[in-house]
Amino acid sequence: MPTPDGSPVPSLNLDDAATLLMQLEATDTADLAILREGLMDLAFENGVPNEAQPFVARAARVLGTIVNGTAPDVPAAFAEVGEALEGAMRASEGRAPVPARVAAPVVTTAPEHATTRTDDPSLDVLPDDADRELLPDFLTESHECVVHSEAALLQLEESPDDEEAINTVFRAFHTVKGTSAFLGLARIAAFAHEAESLLSRVRDKEIAYTKGCADLSLRSADMLKALLVSVESGLNGDGRLPIPDGYHALLDALAGYDPADTPLATLPQASAPAPAPAAALVAVAPSVAIATPPVSSAVDAPTAAPAAKGRVESNADATIRVRTDRLDRLIDMVGELVIAQSMIAGDTLFAGGKQHDLQRKVTHAGKIVRELQGLSMSMRMVPLRATFQKLTRVVRDTASKADKIVQFVTEGDDVEIDRNMVDVLSDPLVHMVRNAVDHGVEGPVEREAAGKARVGVVRLHAYHASGNVVVELKDDGRGLHRDKIVKKAIEKGLIETDKGLTDSDVFNLVFAPGFSTAEQVTDISGRGVGMDVVRRNIEKIHGRIDITSAPGKGSTFAIRLPLTLAVTDGMLVRVGDERFIIPLTHIHMSFRPEPAMLSTVVGRGEVVLLRGELLPIIRLHTLFDVTNAVQSPLDGLLMIVGDGERRQALLVDDLLGQQQVVAKTLGDGLGKVPGVSGGAILGDGRVGLILDVAETVALAQSAEGHPARGDRPHAA
């Protein structure tokens, strides 16, 4: 790291630091800053033994208060730096005791806004000199370190000799330890130190990375997450830091780990307080990394350095952190710009074709606006990698509880979708993966009896298809049994008979609230709670979920999602005097029917025969009470929408062309309109309703094909 004048910081040891400190005064801020940077190098880049690092970090932190003028008592601060350096030298030489001021890392004086003493064994407080501007960045980056360490721990369990995985985890714990010590978060530093020490023993071949060691390491990652949540809660509250359950027991288990013991048998799971309400999270709003690689210059202290010299040589301009509320606001404003540009381009001024020069300029501006829109949208796209990594842990823990052997295979984790969709998608995937392991995959004995390998396979695959993102979850387990599902559905009164129901229709019954065919309820799943929530969450982000299965061969759950919720690629259609937008992902084809293709079938109403398939006709003008619309399909167009057995034909007057529109909600005044997912401002300034195809079809099928007149949605 360079000095204030741009020159590199000279390397120094503890003796040099102590000597330099005695020669400096409070007015020598430039030299004090150089000393502080040198101490940070020692603390965070393995320049001193582990035992000395907290003392060196303390010295650097107190020096920072002198440099930036926030030290309440400068002479006392100088004395504290000297004591910290003396403690570091004693610790480096293995001498004791160390000075009292730095020997007790737990804060003994609460900040003014805290009312609870730190001698409460279940409570801690933020240090009185905590840097509240750096803490949000520390929380974000430490969480990333823990997530990366968890993925490496799972990889290490499969390949215990993977030195790179060991080093990844070691660096992650080391980074969290060093930065938390620098910020005065002694409990996190102490815990990370013990977790790091365990991995150090593995790295030095002192102990083997057995299942017991893996369980303890993964539990340590959970505890670090809980500790970070506690700090987040304190930062947005009164400064109190509730200590997660099991902290002390797990700390002792790490310090006294013996491969011959099973220390996790009586250890409670880590639990942390709920974060502060969303309204209070302004200071620590989630951030997204823009561009790659994931290196951040937001924190003054070094974090997540991939190597000893990573902090010095990292490209700090490669990535910055942006608050997501600001990013969302940017995207909203770009959307407004797109709407304004389309209104200008659609102005009647161009109708005569006489303003050639102006039209050329507007067209050029339109290209720039579209590129700006694409760029801004890409900033909110994030890969599915983090979500997939979390599911790896879910599979491991679920299989362990169920006494099953399961191999989890992920593909396409670099596929990107809207960040807001990732948040909603995470919980449904967790529930589905648990179900796949607990109910789908058989136990080793049962699999052998069925002629299968003892190891079950659960595969998660993400890919692009027809403008959508498809996330497929496959297992090679028991599969869904139609007869069992039908029997259970009849018992619950969901259906009277399965006559006329396709396999797809029957499988979709598993999404009914409270539906479950599990013969035994476990603490993992089996109560029929969750799959209805899964479908609701998927539909909330304009996606759909399809099921295919074969008894004894496994099941496939395919989730189809749009790339983003902010922009919709759709076909603009006219129905009477109204305009509707139908998402392109749901459209198969459009055609004008011949008289011989049309008929009426008892129980199905109007249908059209297309390539040997009878498709129901939905009259949008009837469904949405639109006047002056085409009445006969022979005078309009039929648009085929849907998939497989659920394809329908929508009757529209005319196709006005394909458009990419900025999706908007209808607002609190209108609320939720059945069959409509939102609206868009068109080039002429009018509002076009964006149809939710699945809801529109369901709406048309209800009440003998159409809702009662009083219940019909109305076009805006």
Domains for the chain: give ranges and CATH numbers. 1-104 (no CATH), 117-276+283-318 (1.20.120.160), 321-380 (1.10.287), 382-562 (3.30.565.10), 567-711 (2.40.50.180)
173, 199 Cβ separation under 8 angstroms = yes
Q: How far is CA 262 from the centre of its chain?
A: 33
Q: How far is CA 346 from the centre of its chain?
A: 39
User: What average pLDDT does range 289-308 have in this prediction?
Assistant: 34
Please give the backbone phi and psi of residue 498, each rounded to the nearest 5 degrees, phi first. -95, 10
- Measured CA to CA, the distance from residue 69 to residue 369 in angstroms comes to 47
User: What average pLDDT does range 168-182 have in this prediction?
Assistant: 82
User: What average pLDDT does range 659-676 have in this prediction?
Assistant: 75
Dihedral of CA atoms 334, 337, 338, 339 in degrees, nearest 10, equals 130
- Measured CA to CA, the distance from residue 46 to residue 302 in angstroms comes to 12
How many angstroms separate the Cα of 64 from the Cα of each of 42, 69, 181? 15, 8, 14
Strands 456-465 and 544-550: unpaired
Residue 310 has pLDDT above 80, yes or no: no
Whole-number pLDDT of residue 276: 44
In 346-418, alpha helices (H): 356-379, 385-401
The secondary structure of residue 270, as a DSSP letter, is P
Whole-number pLDDT of residue 714: 45
**90-104, 262-276, 391-405 — which one is most confidently predicted on average?**
391-405
Strands 648-652 and 320-323: unpaired
Whole-number pLDDT of residue 44: 62
155, 165 Cβ separation under 8 angstroms = yes
Whole-number pLDDT of residue 111: 32
Whole-number pLDDT of residue 266: 55
Confidence class for position 580, pLDDT limits 50, 70, 90:
very high
User: What average pLDDT does range 682-710 have in this prediction?
Assistant: 69
User: What average pLDDT does range 226-239 have in this prediction?
Assistant: 85
**The token pair that represents 210 in the structure block:** 């057995």
Query: What is the model's pTM?
Result: 0.61
Query: Other C-beta atoms within 10 Å of 424: how many?
Result: 16
In 24-134, alpha helices (H): 29-44, 53-67, 74-93, 100-103
Q: Which residues contact 261 (CB under 8 A, 6 or more apart)?
A: 212
Q: Which of 248-257, 292-301, 638-647 has the lowest mean pLDDT?
A: 292-301
The closest of 511, 550, 516 to 428, measured between CA atoms, is 511
**The token pair that represents 335 in the structure block:** 């959307």
E runs forming strands in 311-452? 320-323, 381-383, 406-411, 416-418
**The token pair that represents 379 in the structure block:** 């900033």
**2-6, 92-96, 109-113 — which one is most confidently predicted on average?**
92-96
Please work out, in degrees rounded to the nearest 5, the angle formed at the alpha carbon of residue 207 by the alpha carbons of 205 and 211: 125
The secondary structure of residue 271, as a DSSP letter, is B
**282-286, 436-440, 705-709 — which one is most confidently predicted on average?**
436-440
Residue 21 vs residue 639, higher pLDDT: 639
How many angstroms separate the Cα of 507 from the Cα of each of 428, 501, 531, 584? 17, 10, 12, 26
Confidence class for position 461, pLDDT limits 50, 70, 90:
very high
Side-chain half-sphere exposure of 173, counting CA atoms within 13 A = 28
3-state secondary structure (DSSP) of residue 482:
helix
Residue 660 has pLDDT above 50, yes or no: yes
Q: Which of 138-142, 464-468, 470-474, 595-599 has the lowest mean pLDDT?
A: 464-468
- Measured CA to CA, the distance from residue 71 to residue 77 in angstroms comes to 7
Q: Which residues contact 375 (CB under 8 A, 6 or more apart)?
A: none
Please work out, in degrees rounded to the nearest 5, the angle formed at the alpha carbon of residue 453 by the alpha carbons of 448 and 458: 120
Average pLDDT value for the chain: 76
User: What average pLDDT does range 48-57 have in this prediction?
Assistant: 77
Q: Which residues contact 147 (CB under 8 A, 6 or more apart)?
A: 386, 389, 390
3-state secondary structure (DSSP) of residue 213:
helix
Confidence class for position 279, pLDDT limits 50, 70, 90:
very low
List the strands of the sheet with 578-583, edge to edge: 654-662, 567-575, 578-583, 687-691, 676-681
Whole-number pLDDT of residue 260: 72
Q: Which residue has the tokens 């490209």?
A: 315
- Measured CA to CA, the distance from residue 567 to residue 375 in angstroms comes to 13
Whole-number pLDDT of residue 273: 52
Residue 707 has pLDDT above 70, yes or no: no
**The token pair that represents 484 in the structure block:** 């069992």
- Measured CA to CA, the distance from residue 230 to residue 276 in angstroms comes to 10
Confidence class for position 711, pLDDT limits 50, 70, 90:
very low
